[in-house]
């Protein structure tokens, strides 16, 4: 798989904060009955994490799991293991009504680093980006400028942004523009 490439090939920008292409990330969309213990067990076996609460995201050593909607999770695993993760879920959930699908390549992921991450995103997302409005451990699906995105804060100085691959270049340019030195409002 050495010929596999992420949308921006590892591009990085340094301004008021650092913006970087996070590279290829394995992602699996899992739709099903989130209250089913069988599904919770399958998730636990896939990423080693228990079910997140509504809008929650949990990150562990094997991967991460995010609550995307009442019947949808996003599992994050190393890129090369995404197909295996799907196979594992298929096997664990056989007989249930569910859908597990590898969406790794349909996405672009960016890492924001620095104290101003929240303010950079607040330039384009109609969301209360204060620490109270978007606490650590919560993922928010919304828009950034004109683009559908999801983001969460791993810490007060690191955030991640996910969008569709086709608009990855646009979102990267958008983030770099919003992160120009000396342009943060200093409000949050």
Q: Which residues of 5-40 are buried (b: 16+ CB within 10 A; e: fewer)?
A: ebbbeebebebbbbbbbbebbbbbbbbbebeeeebe
Residues 33/89, Cβ–Cβ less than 8 Å:
no
Instruction: State the number of CA atoms in the 13 A half-sphere of 10 facing the CB.
Output: 2
Tokens (6 digits) for 144: 């950034």
Q: Which 50-89 residues touch another protein, going by CB under 8 A?
A: 54-55, 68-72, 79, 83
Interacting residue with another protein among 6, 15, 42, 66 (CB under 8 A) = 6
Could you give the CA distance from residue 31 to residue 99 in angstroms, rounded to a whole number? 5
Shortest distance in whole angstroms from residue 104 CB to another protein: 7
Interacting residue with another protein among 48, 141, 154, 157 (CB under 8 A) = 141
Instruction: Check residue 136 for interaction with another protein (CB under 8 A).
Output: no
Q: Which of 7/64 has CB closer to another protein?
A: 7
Strands 158-164 and 18-21: unpaired
From 28-36, 44-52, 109-117, 151-159, give the range in contact with another protein by CB under 8 A. 28-36
Contact positions vs another protein (CB under 8 A): 1, 3-6, 24, 29, 31-32, 54-55, 68-72, 79, 83, 97-99, 101-107, 119, 122-130, 133, 140-143, 145-148, 164-170, 173-174, 177-178, 180, 182-183, 185, 187
């Amino acid at each position: 798989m050495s010929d596999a490439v992420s949308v921006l090939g590892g591009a990085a920008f340094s301004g008021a904060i650092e913006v970087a292409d996070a590279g290829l990330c394995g992602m699996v969309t899992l739709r099903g009955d989130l209250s089913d213990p069988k599904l919770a067990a399958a998730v636990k076996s896939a990423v080693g994490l228990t079910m997140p609460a509504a809008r929650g995201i949990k990150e562990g050593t094997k991967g991460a799991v995010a609550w995307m909607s009442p019947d949808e999770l996003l599992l994050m695993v190393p890129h090369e293991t995404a197909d295996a993760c799907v196979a594992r879920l298929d096997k664990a959930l056989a007989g249930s009504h569910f859908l597990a699908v590898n969406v790794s390549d349909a996405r672009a992921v960016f890492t924001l680093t620095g104290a101003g991450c929240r303010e950079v995103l607040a330039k384009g997302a109609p969301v209360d980006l204060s620490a109270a409005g978007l606490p650590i451990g919560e993922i928010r699906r919304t828009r950034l400028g004109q683009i559908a995105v999801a983001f969460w804060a791993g810490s007060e100085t690191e955030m991640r942004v996910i969008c569709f691959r086709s608009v990855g270049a646009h979102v990267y340019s958008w983030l770099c523009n919003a992160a120009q030195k000396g342009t943060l409002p200093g409000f949050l």
